[in-house]
Amino acid sequence: MEKDNKKLRSTEWFGQKDKMGFVHRSWLRNQGHPDHVFDGRPVIGICNTWSDLTPCNAHLRGFAEIVKRGVYEAGGFPLEFPVMSLGETIMKPSTMMWRNLVSMDTEETIRANPLDGIVLLTGCDKTTPSTVMGACSVDLPTIVVPGGPMLNGKWRGKDVGSGVLTWQIGEGLKDGSFNPKDLFEAEACAARSAGHCMTMGTASSMASTVEALGLTLPGASAIPAVDSRKKVMAHLAGNRIVEMVKENLKLSKILTREAFENAIMANAAIGGSTNVMIHLTAIAGRIGVDLNIDDFDTVGSHIPLLANLMPAGKFLMEDFYYAGGLPVVLKELAGYLHQDAITVNGKSIGENVANAECFNREVIASIDQPIQEKAGIVVVKGNLCENGAVIKPSATDGKLLKHTGRAVVFESIEDYHARIDNPDLDIDEHCVMVLKGVGPVGYPGMPEVGNMDLPEKLLKKGVKDMVRISDGRMSGTAYGTVVLHVSPESTVGGTLALVQNGDLIELDVEKRKLSLHVSEEELARRKSLWTAPAPVADRGYASLFIKHVEQADQGCDFDFLKGGSGSQVSRDLH
Ligand code: FES
């Protein structure tokens, strides 16, 4: 790629020969930097989501040092900075509530400082979309280094997948197939190395998605966190970001509409998470690409499933990497993808994967013999979800994708927990479980509770799946006939709020329909009696979130964060 000789923005700080130049440089000198780092070379910000409280990102502290090595080697000057980190398994009530806050932290830190290019160190679910969103609103040359998945979980001679095992244990504790005495042993075996969930959950899906968008070096996303080749990738990313600054290869040059379509198709082919829809929509909103919920169905739903990975399949991310990883999937999708989309290494995605080779067809199927036809996420609409809801057919056994059943309604997640295992609950396997109050505004933060555990009495009968509907999300590691992201949500007065026990609900995935069989007159009557719940917070960040978060179909970004403000600082430090 051609060099762009535009003056670097960091020289506005370090190139000054006056008092303020002294101020900008002098305090940094306390870290022992020599004169020549201020000679106009690219200054690279390494945005680190490391935290002991985010187990999936705990290894990134050391990774920053490796990226720095690469930056120095290429003639740049690296400066690492922290942003708030989001640990999926620990934070309450839901990490989704802080995704936008981290995006603001990332955006403002980048813009306010003398940085020319950015490396994002990411891992756990929200740490990828949040930092990418923030970086998009500044639009500097940026490269993502995904922290990588854990090694396969191994328990008593079997591979166990993060998240998937959690759901299995949850059900096993209820139906008696799992002994509670085994909990400690199982949990240690499920997370036996550094890295994020090693199923194709949200973290792996988002890492694969940013690779398909063109924001990582080719093949970066699937490399296990503890594999030495991950360190090589981090080093090379440090090298490359310096070149990207010289080429002025900004995010907006990579993140085109075509790149987003590629990412949607890739997420379908890997059986990726429904959460990707929300995050991709939000990222697109920041970079000014028009993307809406219907695009995921139009662009992705007909794509075949190629990756045989849990939760949709059998294997785990370590196997995926050894089989060739995402480049193989992208090569198989050649007939669908926009081959010319440019990536961070300056080459097109088609060029990057041209020589990809599959080493295990059990793990990555060919396009001619896919694991499943039409595996992408489907968007359903109807009077129960005027703005849409989503379902991931590849995470089901297909038996309930056309189903009509009697609604059993839970007014909140607390109501669900209080009654679900009551033997007197009037429910059978044909019913449709409905959960309200878990949307972006209602919870707040749209937690991953949409894949409600089935009632104990039905699990003991051997029932494995039921239709479940909510305005919440589900973990990318979960499975079942689960309709999610119902929009508008119940708390803001969506029709979901009006569903009552005994109403008939019809799901028809083939026809893209989700219908509540209640007359318009009756719905109008119920609406006239409905009152909005009181906001769950009246101060602080939660209050800001409730007032400004958009609905799931729009990506759950804040209304005031859409778009970007570029890299210009509004006023000088005086
Ligand atoms: Fe962090 Fe799954 S809990 S990626």
Ligand 1 contact, 203 CB (< 6 A): yes
Pocket of ligand 1 contains residue 124 by CB under 6 Å: yes
Q: How many Cβ atoms from other residues are within 10 Å of residue 49's Cβ? A: 27
For residue 456, what are its two tokens?
Answer: 């104990």
* C-alpha 342 to ligand 1 mean position (Å): 29
Nearest CA to ligand 1 atom 1: 124
pLDDT tens, per residue, the chain with 574 residues: 555 557 899 999 999 999 999 999 999 999 999 999 999 999 999 999 999 999 999 999 999 999 999 999 999 999 999 999 999 999 999 999 999 999 999 999 999 999 999 999 999 999 999 999 999 999 999 999 999 999 999 999 999 898 888 888 888 888 888 988 988 888 888 999 999 999 999 999 999 999 999 999 999 999 999 999 999 999 999 999 999 999 999 999 999 999 999 999 999 999 999 999 999 999 999 999 999 999 999 999 999 999 999 988 999 999 999 999 999 999 999 999 999 999 999 999 999 999 999 999 999 999 999 999 988 899 999 999 999 999 998 889 899 999 999 999 999 999 999 999 999 999 999 999 999 999 999 999 999 999 999 999 999 999 999 999 999 999 877 889 999 999 999 999 999 999 999 999 999 999 999 999 999 999 999 999 999 999 989 999 999 999 999 999 999 999 999 999 999 998 888 7
By DSSP bridging, strand 432-435 and strand 467-470 are: parallel
User: Does 240 sit in the ligand 1 pocket, CB within 6 Å?
Assistant: no
Ligand 1 binding pocket includes 207 (Cβ within 6 Å): no
What is the distance between the alpha carbons of residues 101 and 99, in angstroms, rounded to a whole number? 5
Q: How far apart are CA 178 and CA 198, in angstroms?
A: 22
Q: What's the Rg (C-alpha) of the chain? A: 24
Ligand 1 atom at minimum distance from 88 CA: 3
88 lines ligand 1 (CB under 6 A): yes
Distance CA 119, CA 47 (A): 6
Distance, CA 98 to ligand 1 centroid (Å)? 15
Q: Is 196 near ligand 1, meaning CB less than 6 Å away?
A: yes
Compute the distance from residue 53 Cα to the ligand 1 centre, in Å.
12
| C-alpha neighbours within 13 Å on the C-beta side of residue 358 | 16
Q: Is 243 in the pocket of ligand 1 (CB under 6 A)?
A: no
The pLDDT assigned to 166 comes to 85
* Residue 148 Cα to ligand 1 middle (Å): 11
Residue with tokens 């609604």: 407
Q: Which contiguous run of DSSP H or E holds residue 229?
A: helix 228-247
pLDDT 10s digits, 438-459:
999 999 999 999 999 999 999 9
CB 126 near ligand 1, within 6 Å: no
For a pocket test of ligand 1, which of 53, 60, 99, 125 has the largest count of ligand atoms closer than 8 A to its C-beta?
Answer: 125
CA of 450 to the centre of ligand 1 (A): 17
Contact 496, 471 (CB under 8 A): yes
Q: Is the CB of 261 under 6 A from ligand 1?
A: no
Dmax (CA) for the chain in angstroms is 79
Q: Is the CB of 125 under 6 A from ligand 1?
A: yes
Q: Is the CB of 111 under 6 A from ligand 1?
A: no
pTM here is: 0.96
* Secondary-structure breakdown of the chain: helix, strand, coil percentages, each rounded to the nearest 5: 40, 15, 45
Domains of the chain and any CATH numbers? 41-151+193-353 (3.40.50.2300), 159-192 (no CATH), 378-534 (3.50.30.80)
Q: Ligand 1 pocket test: pick from 88, 99, 166, 473 the residue with the most ligand atoms within 8 Å of its Cβ.
A: 88
- Cα separation, 73 vs 470, whole angstroms: 51
| Pairing outcome for strands 158-160 and 153-155 | antiparallel
DSSP, collapsed to helix, strand or coil, labels residue 210 as helix
Burial class of residue 538 in the structure, from the number of CB atoms within 10 Å of its CB (0-12 exposed, 13-18 middle, 19+ buried): exposed
Please name the residue whose Cα sits nearest to atom 2 of ligand 1: 197
pLDDT score, position 5: 56
Counted residue by residue, the chain has a size of 574
CB 468 within 8 A of CB 433: yes
Whether 489 contacts 499, CB under 8 Å: no
CA of 221 to the centre of ligand 1 (A): 14
Residue of 286, 274, 303 whose CA lies nearest to 552 = 274
